[in-house]
């Protein structure tokens, strides 16, 4: 939460990739026992006292849910988290242990970088001796700001170190010319993440804001900073800033970005020197893609109308918030109390050793990933997954051809896009060079700063350069997958190609409900509400006829309305418009993988039931097993506000309720609280 490497998933660019799941706050328990090898399906985890079509999540996962409460150190707990825990605490940990056992590794080698970073995280003697003193030179520089010009220069310099300001910059493939990278500029700077946290007036949000004010005040005291009333000042300032920002639903539309010359961009904010800010960050460019010009104009005027004393306090706060976890235990614990407990409901902080693992994986994930891939990804898996993807692609091709709502003209374009999809499986072929980063065993704050600066530089040097198609947006050990609309590619890191997602030992029906549905999910992202606006070459080009696009939008709107009616907890409804892309991908993924399973069985004898369940039923048990989870109410609320994915329970029940083969498999008479009548069914793919 507080270490913010500038990676492809940095929130500056709301559209960078469509991942399978939100970044998993990686999991943990204090014991390090390994997990039992996943059986094909966990029958003991079911609750058969519930009727499957009333609540399939409960039916398939009820026993598991009862026996697997969220651990004190987590905000949610499920298949993703458990696999990620095993991956990190057993596999990545053993790599780190091996690296740390090497004596006198050469400076800049993986063993030196990883070993010394980990040591610096564990070096509590040094951390306590330093206290908040590493902040001092930076706080003095912020205190030295006398003009808005000074503010712009320092804000740019701090952005390079991962400290947010009201505008964020990031280089990515140009959505209008996808072979070249361009600078994107968009809104940033809200400590609570999203404008709804400043605007909603229900008791939960009022409580969060009250806690935030106290938290900021306490952090300033612990850091020995003299400001009083900082919390109220920052909440007041950010509330004003939030009013000027787009909502996360508005940010889903890629067509809001406008290409603008750097000179014109600098003119947008006469009160604040954007050119100076960008150059201080290290940006060199003639053009950029701007998310919302009105925001820049209004926010810069807002900044100019704010007393410099408040801006200085705000900058100090963001610096402190960004680097708290690299300082002494008092600051660290208070930062966790707010971000972990207040915001997400997590009761206890992970042990320092586990936090060291997470931080090392977060900032040096690629050197670790190279070793992870060598040790833990069998070469044979790549071929197997490639075959599965081609299998789903072939089914998708047939489905597109048969769509009743799409014209032949648009179908031809859709087929072209489908044929141009590329894939990445397991791990990258090339690796970044971290050897020049200075990492020392007793300097966590400086190490983190150096790595943040390295990541920022690694990103910004791409501006104006051709896109490197070999580059990955996730490390190999990540338990997740993504679709990139500008690359038109699906990416499956080695981390997700394990049970319960992919289990070479398991029966086919379970794998089709798991990894193959995930593959289908990622492929259909190329055709969701965002992806459908990009062509097969990754350019933002409208390849649809108007009437086909209207048909698609109307189907998407039905999905939005359907999910808008889902109550995640009393009074808190899913945001259908925020989650529509993921919901379409879930329904599409299931549709394609189910069809692929059917096709794989053609001409073969009907598979026998296992544990009394037919192959059709097991397919849906596989899907439910992938998404089984428990979540704390605070975390659930945060996800509903922020996450483009529906909560796991709805990825199971709401999606399956729409899907006719589910009804056929479990309750052909059509009797069940989850089920949608045929007249209200949405069939897109």
Binding site for Zn ion (CB under 5 A): 18, 20, 582, 585
In the complex with Zn ion, the residue whose CB is nearer, 354 or 580, is 580
CB 445 within 8 A of CB 127: no
Distances (CA, A) of 245 to 196, 561, 637: 10, 25, 21
CB of 81 to Zn ion, least distance (A): 17
Closest contact distance (angstroms) between CB of 586 and Zn ion is 8
Whichever of 376 and 534 has its CB closer to Zn ion, that residue is: 534
First to last CA, the chain: 37
Report in angstroms how near the CB of residue 465 gets to Zn ion at its nearest: 28
- Toward Zn ion, which CB reaches closer, 57 or 582? 582
Q: Which is nearer to Zn ion, 186 or 485 (CB)?
A: 485
Complex with Zn ion: residue 445 or 472, whichever CB lies closer: 472
Output the smallest distance, CB 7 to Zn ion, in A: 18
Q: How far is the CB of 577 from Zn ion (least distance, A)?
A: 16
Task: Return the number of the residue (522 or 548) whose C-beta is nearest Zn ion.
Answer: 522
Q: What is the DSSP letter of 70?
A: P
| Smallest gap from residue 495 Cβ to Zn ion (A) | 16
Which residues lie closer than 8 Å to 314 by C-beta, 6 or more apart? 233, 234, 237, 238
Residue that the structure tokens 């940033």 belong to? 188
Closest distance to Zn ion from the beta carbon of 227 (Å): 42
- In angstroms, what is the minimal distance from the CB of 581 to Zn ion? 7
| Sign, Cα dihedral of 200, 654, 54, 75 | negative
CB 489 → Zn ion: shortest distance, Å?
Answer: 14
Q: Which CB atom, from 76 or from 316, has the smaller least distance to Zn ion?
A: 76
Residue number with CB closer to Zn ion (20 or 487): 20
Sheet holding 422-426, edge to edge: 18-19, 482-484, 489-493, 422-426
Residue 554, Cβ neighbours under 10 Å: how many? 11
Q: 677-680: which pairs have CB atoms within 8 A and are 24 or more residues apart?
A: 680/562
Cα–Cα distance, 287 to 180 (Å, whole number): 12
Helix (H, G, I), strand (E, B) or coil at 608: coil
Cβ proximity to Zn ion: between 58 and 645 the closer is 645
Q: Which pair of tokens denotes residue 547?
A: 């009437």
Both tokens of 636, joined, read 């659930």
Least distance from Zn ion to the Cβ atom of residue 655, Å = 12
The angle formed by the CA atoms of residues 183, 539 and 428, to the nearest 5 degrees, is 70
Angstrom distances, CA of residue 226 to CA of 219, 246, 321: 11, 34, 16
Q: Looking at beta carbons only, is 130 or 585 nearer to Zn ion?
A: 585
How far apart are alpha carbons 162 and 449 in whole angstroms? 8
Please tell me the distance from the alpha carbon of residue 5 to that of residue 182, in angstroms, as a whole number. Answer: 19
Closest CA to 507 of 381, 608, 594, 588: 608
């Amino acid at each position: 939460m507080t270490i913010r490497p500038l990676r492809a998933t940095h929130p500056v660019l709301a559209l960078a990739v469509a991942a399978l799941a939100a970044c998993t706050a990686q999991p943990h328990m204090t014991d390090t026992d390994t997990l039992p090898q996943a059986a094909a399906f966990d029958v003991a985890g079911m609750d058969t006292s519930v009727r499957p079509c009333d609540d399939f999540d409960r039916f398939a996962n009820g026993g598991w849910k009862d026996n697997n409460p969220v651990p004190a150190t987590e905000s949610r707990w499920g298949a993703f988290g458990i696999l990620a825990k095993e991956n990190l605490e057993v596999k990545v940990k053993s790599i780190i242990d091996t690296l740390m056992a090497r004596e006198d590794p050469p400076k800049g080698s993986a063993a030196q970088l990883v070993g010394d970073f980990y040591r610096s995280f564990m070096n509590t003697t040094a951390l306590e001796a330093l206290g908040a003193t590493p902040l001092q030179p930076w706080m003095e520089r912020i205190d030295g700001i006398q003009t808005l010009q000074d503010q712009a220069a320092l804000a740019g310099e701090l952005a390079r170190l991962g400290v947010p300001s009201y505008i964020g910059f990031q280089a990515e493939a140009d959505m209008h010319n996808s072979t070249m990278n361009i600078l994107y500029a968009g809104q940033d700077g809200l400590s609570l993440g999203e404008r709804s946290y400043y605007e909603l007036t229900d008791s939960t949000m009022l409580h969060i804001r009250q806690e935030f004010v106290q938290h900021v005040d306490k952090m300033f005291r612990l850091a020995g900073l003299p400001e009083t009333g900082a919390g109220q000042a920052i909440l007041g300032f950010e509330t004003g800033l939030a009013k000027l920002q787009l909502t996360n639903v508005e940010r889903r539309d890629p067509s809001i970005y406008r290409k603008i010359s750097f000179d014109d961009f600098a003119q947008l904010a006469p009160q604040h020197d954007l050119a100076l800010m960008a150059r201080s960050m290290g940006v060199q460019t003639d053009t950029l893609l701007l998310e919302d010009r009105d925001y820049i104009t209004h926010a810069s005027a807002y900044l100019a109308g704010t007393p410099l004393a408040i801006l200085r306090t705000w900058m100090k706060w963001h610096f402190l918030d960004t680097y708290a976890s690299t300082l002494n235990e008092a600051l660290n614990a208070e930062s966790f109390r707010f971000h972990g407990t207040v915001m997400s409901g997590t009761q206890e902080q992970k042990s320092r050793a586990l936090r060291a693992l997470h931080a090392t994986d977060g900032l040096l994930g690629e050197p670790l990933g190279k070793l992870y891939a060598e040790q833990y990804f069998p070469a044979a898996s790549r071929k197997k997954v490639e075959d599965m993807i081609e299998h789903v692609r072939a089914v998708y091709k047939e489905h597109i051809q048969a769509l009743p709502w799409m014209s032949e003209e648009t179908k031809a374009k859709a087929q072209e896009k489908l044929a141009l999809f590329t894939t990445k499986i397991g791990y990258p072929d090339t690796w970044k060079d971290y050897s020049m980063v200075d990492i020392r065993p007793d300097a966590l704050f400086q190490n983190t700063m150096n790595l943040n600066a390295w990541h920022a530089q690694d990103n910004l040097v791409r501006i104006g350069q051709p896109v490197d198609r070999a580059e990955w947006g996730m490390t190999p050990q990540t338990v997740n997958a993504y679709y990139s609309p500008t690359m038109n590619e699906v990416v499956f890191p080695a981390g997700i190609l394990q049970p319960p997602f992919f289990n070479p030992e398991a029966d086919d029906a379970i794998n089709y409900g798991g990894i193959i549905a995930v593959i289908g999910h990622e492929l259909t992202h190329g055709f969701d509400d965002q992806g459908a606006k990009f062509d097969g070459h990754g350019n933002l080009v409208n390849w649809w006829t108007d009437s086909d696009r209207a048909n698609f939008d109307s189907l998407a709107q039905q999905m939005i309305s359907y999910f808008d009616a889902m109550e995640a907890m009393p009074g808190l409804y899913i945001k259908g418009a925020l989650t529509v892309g993921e919901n379409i991908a879930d329904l599409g993924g299931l549709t394609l993988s189910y069809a692929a399973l059917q096709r794989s069985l053609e001409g073969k004898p009907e598979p026998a039931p296992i544990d009394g369940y037919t192959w059709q039923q097991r397919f849906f048990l596989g899907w439910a097993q992938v998404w089984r989870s428990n979540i704390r109410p605070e975390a659930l609320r945060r996800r509903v506000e922020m996450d483009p994915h529906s909560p796991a329970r709805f990825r199971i029940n709401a999606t399956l309720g729409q899907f006719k083969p589910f009804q056929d498999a479990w309750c052909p008479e059509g009797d069940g609280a989850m089920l949608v009548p045929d007249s209200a069914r949405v069939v897109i793919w």
